Structure 1
Amino acid sequence: MPTTALALLNRPSAQAPEHKPGGFAFKLVDPAGQYLSVLDLGVTRGDGIFETISVGDGAPQALEPHLRRFARSAAALGMPEPDLDAWRTAILAVISELDPAPEAWVKTVMTRGIEGDSRPSGWAYASVSGDFTAARTEGIRVVTLDRGYRHDVERTSPWLLTGAKTLSYAVNRSVLREAARRNADDVIFVSSDGYVLEGPTSTVLYRRGDRLLTPGTGLGILEGTTQGSLFELAARRGMRTGFELLTPAELETADAIWLVSSVRHAAPIRELDGTPRPVDAELTTAMNDHLANRVS
């Protein structure tokens, strides 16, 4: 069995025509093949949406929250509504094609399609995961970088799509290159008016005593599916959870800080802007065990 798999959706949205009338909902194809038109707006304009879903022992994790966020991103971009039943079936199909592995992931992508055509393009790509042991146990070095937007950009300028998971990832990739230039592994974005936001591919989580917190809602940041799962864990451990608008200086006073995401899971921050940080090893282990074994 392979370590990657790919499904092309025939009708990514029930609101749009099929690519092949009367065809199957999706087709499993060789991941090394060539299927995307050079005129596809996902290629020429980055006009599309995506989700990355972790897979533990063959089961997709937080699948429904990811699908709901996928649909919200499509609505924000004015794209046809994804046919979530078709996407769900394709996701399960590509997972079943993979070699058995403790960890894998599936990326779902829907673009606006070829310019002038009303049919969106869509595919689900699955792969066995890499080894994130070092990031989860030893921790990561992080720098803060100005995102260039005020913290209330979601309210003042919704057309900037700051709360949608789009294919326009040039900035998110460039900040990681900047982090590497600063001898760091990752980034926490800060708003132009001085508030903590999120990582380029992750959510900020931090502990103060018995409280597990994350930056407030309405900040033009993605709703964290992994953060939601970890809030459930915290509640079971008797911890309080919540959202908080905070500055980088206030973040520095936290007892422990993590960047959490679907595939890497919980990575404790061991250095922030060059300053060593304490790592809560016990809670980190509990977080990653919880994320590895969740079934919803």
Structure 2
Amino acid sequence: MPPRLLAVLTAPSRDTPGAAPTGPVFRMADVDHPVLNALDLGVTRGDGVFETISIGSGRAQATEPHLGRLARSAAMLEMPEPDLDAWRETVYALAEQLRDVPEAFAKLVYTRGVEGQDRPTGWVFAEASPDHAATRRDGIRVTVLDRGYAHDVVSTAPWLLQGAKTLSYAVNRAAVREAHRRGSDDVLFVSSDGFLLEGPTANLVLKRGDRLTTPATSLGILAGTTQADAFSFARSRGLTTSYEVLTRDALEDADALWLLSSVRHAAPIRAVDGVPKSVDAAFTADLNAFLVGRRD
């Protein structure tokens, strides 16, 4: 069995009391034994941020975009600035231990720490990825759900933290359960005023002719690292790419649709609310081969 790895950062931020100036930046821990304080605000309040980095045969993929997004999310929560050098070293060390695994992932978790101690907590968990071959080949069914916010929520209510990758995922998980109740595999959110957004854990990409499009991040969408790499791949194939403000009608006009994420990669959408959609099998296969084989 491939290993399941857990590394706890010694000082996930340099900007906190007691941050270790020297010595190892992490310690390995047993995944089957407790390492987290029950009063950690990441547990009791969901007060923290996270990232998931894909690993291909020991190579962490898109590490810098993920670390940059970790720092941006932490800043939005007004948390101490993460020590990105320490996080990078930890990710690379765990990725190296998974060099015999074709596809794996590392999950970075950064919390505000134990209530009242003013010291953040950080750890990285890594293991082999689930087998997504069938999903990438056959596609997924999605249900469109109202996120409950207008498309301009970022400017009207910044305290809702749209665009930050926080640990507060209860709503996202509830949305996926609702999709399952409706016979779908995943969710596509729309704003309360009818604009396309994203999935609970993925970015939407549409293909229309020779153009790939994704909803604009100005709508409070998490900027996608896998989506950005997919756009780079598309441009190398002669396609154009764009970020646009799109209404739900765009789903009807698209030649193909995908939900893109770090571990599942490109999942073609084969049905929206029960209505069949075309799947571009050849482009999907090429795109996923590119994503799996990326180097950092």
TM-score, scaled relative to structure 2: 0.97
**Offset of residue 32 of structure 1:** 1.1
CA distance in 2 between partners of 1:11 and 1:217 (Å): 31
Runs of 4+ in 1 over 4 A off after TM superposition: 19-23
Q: Which residue of 2 aligns with 1:7?
A: 7
Contact persistence 1:28–1:94 (CA under 8 A): no
How far does residue 190 in structure 1 lie from its aligned partner after superposition? 0.4
Q: Determine if contact 1:142/1:186 at 8 Å carries over to the other structure.
A: yes
Give the letter for the 2:265 counterpart.
H
Q: Following superposition of structure 1 onto structure 2, how do residues 18-33 of structure 1 map, counting pairs within 5 Å?
A: 18=18, 23-33=23-33
Aligned-residue offset at 1:17? 2.9
Q: Does 1:80 align with 2:85?
A: no
User: What SS class does the counterpart of residue 287 from structure 1 fall into?
Assistant: helix
Cα deviation, residue 31, structure 1 = 1.2
Measured in 2, the distance between the counterparts of 1:14 and 1:35 equals: 21
Match of 2:286 in 1: 286
Q: Which amino acid aligns with 1:186?
A: D
Query: Gaps spanning 5+ residues in structure 1: where?
Result: none
Q: How does 1:31-110 map to 2 (within 5 A)?
A: 31-98=31-98, 100-110=100-110
The one-letter amino acid paired with 1:216 is A
Contact residue 226 and residue 262 of structure 1 kept, 8 A:
yes
Residue 99 of structure 1 and its aligned partner are, at CA, apart by 6.5
Q: SS state of the match for residue 34, structure 1?
A: coil
Report the CA distance between 1:164 and its aligned residue. 0.2
Structure-2 residue corresponding to 1:123: 123
Which amino acid in 2 is paired with 1:256?
A
Q: For the residues of structure 2 that align with 1:21 and 1:63, how far apart are their CA atoms?
A: 24
Q: Which residue in 2 is equivalent to 1:111?
A: 111
> Any conservation in 1 of the 2:58–2:97 contact (CA below 8 Å)?
no
2:58 touches 2:99 (CA, 8 Å); kept in 1? Answer: no
Give the Å deviation of 1:250. 2.0
Cα distance 1:116–1:23, how it changes in 2: closer, same or farther (>3 A)?
A: farther
Once the two structures are superposed, the pairs formed by residues 1-296 of structure 1 within 5 Å of their partners are: 2-18=2-18, 23-98=23-98, 100-296=100-296
- Matched length: 296
Question: How far does the alpha carbon of each residue in 1:228-263 deviate from its partner, in whole angstroms, 9 at most, with x for none?
Answer: 001101111110100111111222210000000000
Give secondary structure in 1 for the equivalent of 2:219: coil
CA shift for structure 1 position 21: 8.0
Contact 1:54 1:60 in 2 (8 A): yes
Q: Which amino acid aligns with 1:185?
A: D
Which letter maps to 2:17?
P
What is the deviation of 1:95?
1.9
| Overall identity of the aligned pairs, in % | 58
- Secondary structure of the 1:55 match is strand
Contact 1:3/1:99 (<8 A) preserved: no
Distance 1:4 1:102, change over 3 A: same
Letter in 2 for 1:163: G
> Which deviations, in whole Å up to 9, do the C-alpha atoms of 1:107-143 show, x marking residues without a partner?
0001000111111000000010110011100000001
CA RMSD after TM alignment? 1.3
Q: Secondary structure at the match of 2:53?
A: strand
Cα distance in 2 for partners of 1:194, 1:264 equals 27
